[in-house]
Amino acid sequence: MVKIRMMCVQPIEVSVEQYENLLVRKSHARSLHSRYDQNPFHTEWLQQFRQHHRKFVNNKSLFGEETQRVDANTLKADLAQPLYHVGGEHDLSEYLIPEETVYDLVFDPRFFNFVLVYELAFALPEHKLGQILTADQADVRQDDFYNTLRRLMVKERDDSPLSQWAVAIRQQVLDTVETTCRAERRRNGFKVANIGNNSGNITFFVDAPVSDTRVKGLFLNCNANAERLLGNCTTVVDNDKVHYAFFSRFHTIISDDPRYYYRYAPIQYHIQFIWFYVRYYSEIMEVLNHHVMALNSQARIGSKRHVIDEYINKIEQLKMHNENFKLAIESDNTAVYAQIEGKWNIESSLANAQSYVSFFKDYLERAYIRKAERASQRQNHILFVISCIQILGLISIWSDYLGLSKLKHAVLGTELSHQSGEYWLLHFNTWLPIALFASLIALVVFAYFKSD
């Protein structure tokens, strides 16, 4: 018998609006840091990795001991269906090891991210291995061994079927994420978390000696033929103890030493984790840019200036997390991880994300200053108009209060001399409103030509 572990890593995407809300709600984030510390992982490599590397205690399981998990025997029933027969003829249900078929929901409160990790276990008889790994109907797409197992958990299109086991797990996982985010929309049924199509990076760990060239060749050929892009294989490690082949959607690690499973599984998980969240943050920046352009107001720009600082912090944390992981895997950083990282362009993508978010922050700052200046100019114009109205009001009050027409009749009736104080008071009160009105007109004309 040849034992096989199949690991599928599925990041869960949270809507941009809700993710922004989670970043701002500091008190909620702090309350989650220690809430799940006692929850155990069921996946073996996750247990080992968290125990050996204290820097990664932030990887928490959202499922506690009391959580009722979906029974793996449901998967046996799914595999027995003709839809999931390899090459249309090979039933894998009898080869499944239910007690070793597990799943975990990994949560990291630093990034508020959620990742679903499946691990399926099979024991394939050697005399049927060749038939199973070479079975592939030419007129049926994706019914080879690798793609058949992938179709159990990963949707290619919106109408692609999934196994009942995976459907139940998805429902449980997404409900848990909604509860953790406290974001369920009961009125309109809108959910803030989803698992996208074609989301699932698959790694096969084959428990077989590398010296068995027949078994090695069967798995590598099956992996190569299952890919959409042919010839996209990077041989990361190939010696007398382990063969590590990194393809595109599928990857194969062959060794009869279980230590390589614990050694390379974290790398396969981490590379998918980093790749997804670099892409996710890039998409968030595009959405933010669209919002700012569509709602080009000072209030909108001002609110996003504070949010963008949170994203800068998250990208810096992501870079630090990546560097800490490299330190944790020691020599495998150069021998293994660097090759995979270069193939998926992780370092460059992180740098581009950091550069873009910094540029976007500077853009928001400049846009905010421009909006503030325009608002200040509008405010000055408004104050100018108010001042004009006040001057006109002052003229009206002056005229009504002094009663210039009555004073004139009084002066003329008493035949005051031109040199008397009443005579000059009459002229002063006559010409002052006229002078104020002329000054107002001159001020308006001056302000108009100066603004041009």
Q: Are 235 and 252 in contact (CB under 8 A)?
A: no
Q: Rounded to 5 degrees, what are φ and ψ at 124?
A: -95, 135
Tokens of 43: 């996946």
C-alpha pair distances (Å), 253 with each of 25, 200, 250:
42, 17, 10
pLDDT in tens, 146-158: 999 999 999 988 8
Place of tokens 């001002």: 302
Beta bridge partners of 119: 7, 102
Per the CB < 8 A criterion, the answer to whether 166 and 153 are in contact is: yes
Give yes or no for residue 35 having a pLDDT over 90.
no
Residue 103, token pair as written in the block: 């799943």
Out of 47-56, 173-182, 265-274, 297-306, least confident range: 297-306
Q: 145: closest CA among 231, 221, 53?
A: 221
Phi, psi angles (nearest 5°) of residue 293: -70, -40
Is a pLDDT exceeding 80 seen at residue 32? Answer: no
What's 123's DSSP letter? E
Q: What is the pLDDT of residues 417-445, one digit of tens each?
A: 555 555 666 666 667 667 767 776 776 66
What type of residue sits at position 108? Answer: D
- Residue whose C-alpha is closest to residue 94's, from 165, 159, 161, 1: 1
Tokens of 385: 């108009």
Round to whole Å and give the CA distance between 364 and 370: 10
Would you state the structure tokens that stand for residue 194, as one six-digit string? 């989803």
% of the chain with per-residue pLDDT over 90: 44
Query: How many Cα atoms within 13 Å fall on the side-chain side of residue 264?
Result: 27
Length of the chain: 452
Mean pLDDT value across the chain:
83
Task: In whole angstroms, give the CA distance from residue 384 to residue 304.
Answer: 32
Tens of pLDDT, residues 40-81:
999 999 999 988 887 777 889 999 888 899 999 999 999 999
> What is 147-165 written as a DSSP string?
HHHHHTT--SSTT----HH
Q: Cα separation of 225 and 86, whole Å?
A: 14
Where is average pLDDT lowest: 221-235, 249-263, 316-330, 351-365?
351-365
Q: Is the pLDDT of residue 187 over 50?
A: no
Helix/strand number for the chain, H first, E second: 15, 9
SS3 assignment, position 248: coil
